[in-house]
Chain A
Amino acid sequence: QVQLQESGPGLVKPSETLSLTCSVSGYSISTGYYWGWIRQPPGKGLEWVGSIYGSGSTYYNPSLKSRVTISLDTSKNQFSLNLSSLTAADTAVYYCARGRPGTVGTSYPDYWGQGTLVTVSS
């Protein structure tokens, strides 16, 4: 059974950098799937942040690209999100997810973490 669990701070100050980690169990992150982050502002819809393939290739939402970094730690079977220069607009529930491959470079999430609320406030 594939399981994902997000961890990180629940409160971050404006202009700072958010760092979240997703711990994966039941599947090796270096094998054939995408690993990504999706966020959902309170009461709103879903926004894809970015993904990384098991080989290390990364794909980012252009609206966030200059601020986002996603990386893999295969030794710990974890992947991470760094989002810099935070503003209140980044307040959201952040989900990590495994992406099943679609066409080249694309995926659709099939397993999700429970989500973690990140609030950007001073």
Chain B
Amino acid sequence: DIQMTQSPSTLSASVGDRITITCRASQSITDWLAWYQQKPGKAPKLLIYKASGLEGGVPSRFSGSGSGTEFTLTISSLQPDDFATYYCQQYSTYLLTFGGGTKVEIK
């Protein structure tokens, strides 16, 4: 299995802050990585695919980067609607695996 490790597990930030979440893979996944946002009681929502592709309808303040084993999700200016939990997911192998999640809280 490819293990996905996210850091930090919790991030406290204020509206307007620039934040970065890191996701590391236990082996190279080239750029087969997606990012999701999940709010309490709701299904995850796709934000980023293939490491840096912005899903349609997702605000441009979200961006993804990285390749191989290290990836980042950046929110350039945090908005009230962005307080949520974020997950990365690799799809390099048929055994799809998710990171443990990063909860973005209001500081």
Contact = CB atoms under 8 A, between A and B. Distances in A.
A33 interface: no
Contacts of B95: 48, 61-62
Interface stretch (A20-28, A66-74, A109-117): A109-117
Q: Is the interface of B mostly helix, strand, loop or mixed?
A: loop
Contacts of B99: 45
B12 interface: no
Interface residues of A, number: 23
B44 A108 contact: no
Contacts of A61: 95
A26 B34 CA distance: 23
A117 B64 CA distance: 31
Given A47-B98, A48-B97, A48-B98, A106 B32 contact: yes
Contacts of B94: 59, 105-106
Contact of B43 (A102, A108, A112): A112
Contact of B87 (A46, A105, A115): A46
A114 B49 contact: no
Contacts of A115: 43
A13 to B, nearest CB: 26
B106 interface: no
Contacts of B66: none
Interface in A60-119: 61-62, 95, 97, 100, 102-103, 105-110, 112-115
Interface of B: 1, 32, 34, 36, 42-46, 49-50, 55, 87, 89, 91-101
28 contacts: A45-B87, A45-B99, A45-B101, A46-B87, A46-B89, A46-B101, A48-B96, A51-B96, A62-B95, A95-B44, A102-B91, A102-B92, A103-B91, A103-B92, A105-B93, A105-B94, A106-B32, A106-B91, A106-B93, A108-B46, A108-B49, A108-B96, A109-B36, A109-B44, A110-B46, A110-B49, A110-B55, A113-B43
